Amino acid sequence: MNEVERETSRQSALVPEIGESWARWYDYPYRAIEGLYRLWSWGHMPRPVRLLLSQFQSYLRLFNSYDREKISHPDDPRHNVVVPDGEQVDLPVLFVVEFYSPAYSRELRRSITSRSWPRDRHGSVPGDDLRDQLRRLRELNSGFNSQVGSFRDTKSEAWWIPNAKVERLPAGIEHVEVHLESLGPSLTALIAAFHLNPERMLALDRAAKAPHPPKLIRVNGKLHLYQKIFQGINDVQGERARLHQDAREWLAKKVPGIFAMENDRQLPVLDVILTHSHDPLGTERRLDNRNFLRALGLEGPSWNQVVSPDLPGFELLEYRPERLRKDDRAQWALVAKHASAFDDDRFKFNFNKSRTSRNIARAANSGAIFLLTRLAIMELLDLKSRQTSQSRDIANEVHSGHRPARSIKKLRRALLTNSIDLDAIAGDLIRLTATTWRYEFNVPTLWSQTGPAGKRDSGKGQRKKRKDSTNKTLLKDWADVQSRDIAELLEADRSLTALLGVVASLASSLSAIRAQRWSILVSIGSFVAAVAAIWLAWLALGSNP
């Protein structure tokens, strides 16, 4: 007897098939329907009755499947989210970025210069106040970054943070550090580093280690069985989504910008995740830890890895949550094994040998800030591309003639919010991507190396890590791709603007023709009314002798 047959026999012994026992409530109606089939031939039943009984039987079988799922594969990591022995997952800090174009620069200036904003004097850009710092940052070239504020939770013990404003932060967030980076005169990035307290830092670890019993959930009025493996993935990724949501909502409410106002508050996020057992750079994905990594969103391609010599031990991964029905691509993670992140000499010099998760996150802080802004440029261009497509759809509404006046108003609003901003920020991004030193200044060097699976498949020593001559190829590729996307987006926007001028002109002509027709009808009506008035007056005069 093989493993599958043994497991099937075990499940049948613990939870018999529906209708084979009298111990469960659903056995009684199921047996009653089976008895009805024997007393009355199936073919003689009316079709609506047969359909109703079949649907009710399927509904009852769902409860039998639910009972079996509760006892199936109790400790098998292939069917559950099982945390390996000795594993612990820390998420000490996450970074959120927002962009500000000329349309949102007034809101940025108003927010950071208001009385509610802390007066942080420890930025790298000189200035009399935050308004002066913002002006100087816009005048400087890319790469300059300044800390413009710190916030501390009312329950936080981080008393050592200077000039921090004490206020109630989202649950589990101990303090927030806000940095400002100028990508050009017309584009500014605001990056917030959310440092979590020890309890919420282990939120993903607790969610992964908690039991994940199956659930019966109702979707669109129908009952569905949520198996243990999917419930585990949903619980872990749901906890991560709540962390992201709290951070995004805080920054979007504090200083709203392009992503907050135009992208449904889906601000780009970068997590720093530390594992104590799994090594993302040295451990091949196995069947016994695959679901665990899948739940954490760490199941990246094991044959190819994105690493950085400036962030030793870390791997850059894109996070694509399975539980979300909407597209949310703006999420990444820097993942490392706790013992392998950075080297001991750096911690000996900077942190007095204290290898804590917070110190590791602090060491990655500056590199992660600049890295996230370059990643977020891709999302910004993708957002503008979607808005250009939406403008084209609105133009089709104008062309169809269905409520042209309303469609033209929507079209005008779309052009004002997209095309004007795009022309302003495109020049900054073109200059940024065209100059290598500006684009890569303070950004961790990235390269692509062969992962464990790639080394296994390619043979021993056949594929080696790329050397210094190609270390910056990945960042250069990003700059080339973004530069090409900007040029294509500008061309599409300009052609659309020219086309929309013709469409608006035709729509105006159509409206003028309709107005002329209405004026003719009104004139005819006026003439008829005048003739009728004269005729009535003549009748009145004729009736009087």
**Residue 83 pLDDT exceeds 50:** yes
Which whole number is the average pLDDT over 146-152?
86
Instruction: State yes or no: pLDDT of 21 exceeds 60.
Output: yes
* Cα separation, 56 vs 66, whole angstroms: 16
Q: What is the mean pLDDT of residues 400-418?
A: 62
- Beta partners for 94? 194, 271
For helices 404-434 and 102-112, the axis angle rounded to 10 degrees is 80
Residue 118 has pLDDT above 70, yes or no: yes
Residue 402: predicted pLDDT: 56
pLDDT value for 461: 44
Q: What is the mean pLDDT of residues 421-435?
A: 85
Angle ∠(351,352,354) on CA atoms, nearest 5 = 70
Q: What is the mean pLDDT of residues 205-224?
A: 90
Quick one: pLDDT at residue 464? 45
> Checking DSSP bridges between strand 89-100 and strand 187-196, what pairing results, if any?
antiparallel
User: How does pLDDT run across 259-302, given as a tens digit for each residue?
Assistant: 998 888 899 999 999 999 888 887 666 777 888 999 998 887 66
Is the confidence at residue 317, as pLDDT, over 50?
yes
- What pLDDT is attached to residue 209? 92
Angle of CA points 202, 205, 207, to nearest 5°: 110
pLDDT averaged over the chain? 81
Quick one: average pLDDT of 179-197?
90
Q: Which one-letter DSSP state was computed for residue 113?
A: T
| The most confident of 42-51, 463-472, 480-489, by mean pLDDT | 480-489
Angstrom CA distances, 195 to 179, 345, 359, stand at 14, 24, 11
